[in-house]
Amino acid sequence: MRLETSIQSIATHVEALNQRFENKRAEEVMRFCLTAPQFGQTALVSSFGAESVVLLHMLSEIDKSAPVIFIDTRMLFRETLAYQTEVAALLGLTGVRHIQPDLVATLLRDSENLLHRADTDACCALRKTEPLHKALVPFNAWISGRKRFQGNARSNLTYFENENDQRIKINPLAHWSRAEVSAYIDAHSLPRHPLVAKGFKSIGCAPCTTKVERFEDDRAGRWRDQSKVECGIHFSPSGMAERANAEAASVIVSDTGFAADDWQGGFQSLESALGQTGADATVLAVDLPNTAEAQALLPRLHEIDMIRIDFPSFADGRGFSLAQQLRALGFDGRLRAKGHVISDQYAMARRSGFDEVEIDQALARRQPQEQWQFRRDWRQHDYRQQLFQPA
């Protein structure tokens, strides 16, 4: 019996499955999904990456002939290709399907293999998302290795998901910790991907994967310096819109850590703020370039609730000087630094008079909260103490 594919039945089935397996082990979820007749055809999609061997081993213990979809983007590390061969042979997997991007489409859209430099989303669509969608057509469900501890959009994963009203996605390791993954690999004497020992915690295509530093999350090395954390295979069209909205949101750094931006009043340019007069004046917040003259704001300084100063380059210190001047002139509102400010400069920002720093999602992934909090002990050089302490 095949799984019903109507929107209502998939959604209802997913909800019931999550309730049924709420306290079950990953192995039980895997066995059920690979053997229960109501699922029809189920495939494991595996990158043969840093932690893939856990699910591959579980599958081998249940059915060595079960379908395993391996997407060879033609841009993978040599180590990944060798590891895939090694693991498949070791576990006796006979159902591995090697999927590659369409050759004609690749020649038309990326004949020089340089698309990733101009448009990573387009490259992932060509080499990974589109081939996977074609490969999944015969299947009613598929198994992924995503986990909550990987952060970002994965933080609230459940065992079962309704994938765009087309099929069920299964995440058997959703609740596992990093330590549990490592313990399983050790307990079963499974080989690790050779790049893990070199500092790679999440492994994708070679041009878009880098090592991860101590303070960074596991996926910080994927598409580094870009507002991108997923290749796209885990997003439906609505999910892609959600991702775009999430990536557009700024992260506000203060002494208490990371937070969403709570300022809803919008920002005006310096010229707009100074041009308002009389009863129509509605100055709330002003955006300033770091080249602005602090004195220019004096006529309206005490009417402004927030000033945001742009940092076009982390090596340009004029924003710090402008903040100090504004505080010396008596500005006591909220002062925010925005742009190319890195965690090493947080103490300097606070000493200069900034209350907070606004960073983008990409920087927040590369330099997570712990890295900024490490530098929050700036008070011994507080600008207020220096400027206003009694003589």
Active site residues: 231
- Adjacent-strand bridge partners of 76: 205
Q: Any idea which residue has 């081939």 for tokens?
A: 131
- Measure the CA–CA gap between 26 and 186, rounded to whole angstroms: 17
Token duo for residue 134:
């074609």
User: Residues 182, 186, 191, 197: is their CA dihedral positive or negative?
Assistant: positive
Residue type, 235: F
